[in-house]
Chain A
Amino acid sequence: MPHIPLQEHLPGITGLLEYRQDTAEPIRELTQVLLKGPSTLTEGERELIATIVCYGNECNFCNAAHTAAADILLGEHETSAKMKQDIETTPVSEKMKALLTIAAQVRESGKSVTTASVERAKAAGATDIEIHDTVLIAALFCLYNRYVDGLATVVPADQGFYMSLAEKIRDQGYVRTPGWYDKLKK
């Protein structure tokens, strides 16, 4: 049971973002810019960066949601599954391996990011903007994971919920969509 009263039909982050909408709005916007805005990283790549952090933080709701989002954007399930086992053998570019490694380090602590891992990313062609965005996406999901689990929000067992959320992320992004929430009441 959540530590504070949240609307029962809104699990995970969804209930929290409705609980306090004034703080939710800029967080949504920040997420929209980072994960859906113009970028030289694809939306699928950015969802993988989010997912490696959610997985490492053992946030079940966020991990399921962003794994589904990454999978739907990439059109397959293998990459996200392999990434969680071992970044180095994941079928992604050398640049993405380096960025995922940086994200995993940020998850531990900002201080865990090494010059060597940043240099590796740069040698593989990562731009300063891509490195900046990787660090900020990873940091943002350290916020989300703690927000979701720190208030003990509900984690749906039905995989269909996360598929539906992933479609919403793909089609409508991270902006507030009241109609989508109303559908959950049924």
Chain B
Amino acid sequence: MAHIKLEEGVPGIRGPMLFSPETTRPMSEFVEILLRDDNNTLTRGERELIGTYVSSLNDCFFCQNVHGAIAAHYMQCDMAYIDAVKLDPLNTPISDKMKALLAIAGSVQKGGKNVTTEQVEHAKSLGATDKEIHDTVLIAAAFCMFNRYVDGLATWAPQDRQFYLERAARRAEEGYIEYDLRK
């Protein structure tokens, strides 16, 4: 049961989002720009994958399944592929640049000071731009917020992973701002 009175049957972050519309508005705008804006050299799938990886490290079931399913939708792969990346990104067929960025994201998850100059230089040597490094750090940091928001209030997460797969296409299409939190 959630720690505060949230609307019943509303999963994950949507419960607190409905509870607090004043904070939801800027939070939704933030995630829309960060993850979905096409003026970005990281694809939407790559950005969702960074969020999924961090959510997995934070053991946030809701977030890793929502964003894993959306990443799979954009990348046109199945959840087994996403699960493999979460478990061991270095041994999956993603680009070397993405491996380097996920390593940075993994360090951010532990704490900002864990990001090393070597990690950043390695990512740059593989073609990562300053903005891509910035965005990787900010996405990872953002999911350290979202994961804590979702689990810190003990929100309800459907356990059937099919639930998340069925909703991914719609979220990819509608985005993070204009949609019905109850659907």
Contacts and interface: CB of A to CB of B under 8 A. Distances in A.
Interface of A: 3-5, 16, 19-20, 22-23, 25-27, 29-30, 33-34, 37, 57-59, 102, 105-106, 109-111, 113, 115, 118, 128-129, 131-133, 135-136, 138-140, 142-152
Contacts of B130: 4-5
Contacts of B33: 22-23, 26
Given A113-B3, A132-B20, A150-B108, A27 B26 contact: yes
Given A27-B26, A139-B145, A146 B140 contact: yes
Given A27-B26, A111-B151, A151-B115, 15 more contacts: A4-B130, A22-B33, A29-B29, A58-B113, A106-B148, A110-B151, A110-B152, A132-B4, A138-B152, A139-B144, A139-B148, A146-B144, A148-B112, A149-B113, A150-B108
Nearest to A31: B26
17 contacts: A3-B137, A20-B134, A106-B152, A109-B148, A110-B151, A113-B152, A113-B153, A128-B5, A143-B141, A143-B142, A144-B141, A146-B108, A146-B112, A150-B108, A150-B115, A151-B115, A152-B117
A33 B148 contact: no
B133 interface: yes
Interface residues of B, number: 49
Contacts of A133: 20
B59 A111 contact: yes
B26 A142 contact: no
Nearest to B22: A33
**Which of B19, B26, B131, B133 has the most chain A CB within a 10 Å cutoff?**
B26
Contacts of A115: 3, 154
B43 interface: no
Nearest to A113: B152
Given A113-B152, A136-B149, A150-B112, A143 B29 contact: no
Contacts of A139: 144-146, 148-149, 152
A33 B33 CA distance: 19
Interface in B77-115: 104, 107-108, 111-113, 115
B117 A3 contact: yes
B138 interface: yes
Given A30-B30, A110-B152, A136 B23 contact: yes
A57 to B, nearest CB: 6
Interface string B60-88: 10000000000000000000000000000
B117 A26 contact: no
B50 interface: no
